[in-house]
Amino acid sequence: MEISAAVKKEIRYSVVQNILKHYQCPETCEAHCCCNGQIHFFEDEVKVLTGIDSEKAKRITNEGLCAGLYQMVTPCSFLKENGRCGVYENRPTVCGMYPFKVNTSGNSVGLQPCPIGFMIIRDFAELIVESFSRSGASDEEKAMIKEEWQKNVDSYETELTEFHSRTSLNEMQIPFDELEMLSIFLSSKKAKNS
Ligand code: SF4
Ligand code: SF4
C-alpha cells in the first residue's frame, strides 16, 4: 500500500525495512501482532481497505475505519484462518513496520518486545555496548554500561511472557539517529558473518 514519500521519510519507513530484513518471525508465533494491540491508518489506507471489503474494514476497530490510531478488535478481520494476512499487498503501513510503531511526530520510534522485537532490542543493546567500548570512557564506566544494558535486555525479556494477551507492552523508544546506526550495524554484522 503506497503512502507518500514524505510520510515514508518522516516515519523512517525505509530504515525500518532495512532493519526488519535481518529477522524472521518464529513459526511458533502465530501472527500475534494481528490479534492484539493498536493499529494506525493513513487516509489512503482507509480508502484502499474499504474498497477491498467495506464490512471487514469497518470491523477492524470498534469505531469504524477512519485515519488515526485505534485499539484493534481482535483478531483483525483481514486475518485468514491459515494465519496469513488477507490483504498482504495492501496491508497498512503499521503492519509492514511491526514491531516498530508508526510515529508521525517526535524524533524516536517505539519498538515492542514481541519475539522479533526482542531480538532487535538485544542487537540494539549490543550496538550501544560496542559503541561505548570504543569510546574514551574508563573501564569502570564501560562495565557499568554493559551491566545496565544487560538489565534492560533482561527486563524486556520478561515482557515476552504472555505478550500476546496483553493490551499494552513496555516498549523501547529508539531515537531516529540510533535507528540509522542500528541499520548500518546489522548490515556490517551480516557482511562480517558471510
Ligand atoms: S512480528 Fe512479532 S508478533 Fe508478529 S508474527 Fe512476527 S514475531 Fe510474532
Ligand atoms: S491488515 Fe493484515 S497484517 Fe495488518 S493486522 Fe490485519 S491481518 Fe494483520
φ, ψ for residue 108, nearest 5 deg: -145, 170
CA–CA separation, 76 and 89 (whole Å): 16
Q: Mean per-residue pLDDT for 50-75?
A: 89
- Residue nearest atom 6 of ligand 1, based on CA coordinates: 25
Q: Give the model confidence (pLDDT) of 10-38 as tens digits.
A: 889 999 999 999 999 998 888 888 987 88
User: What percentage of the chain exceeds 90 in pLDDT?
Assistant: 61
Q: Give the model confidence (pLDDT) of 113-130 as tens digits.
A: 899 999 999 999 999 999
Query: Residue 110 pairs with which residues in a beta bridge?
Result: 173
Q: How far away, in angstroms, is 37 Cα from ligand 2 center?
A: 11
Ligand 1 neighbour 96 (Cβ under 6 A):
no
Q: How far away, in angstroms, is 9 Cα from ligand 2 center?
A: 22
pLDDT of residue 85: 94
Ligand 1 neighbour 114 (Cβ under 6 A):
yes
User: What percentage of the chain exceeds 70 in pLDDT?
Assistant: 99
Domain boundaries, the chain: 5-104, 115-193
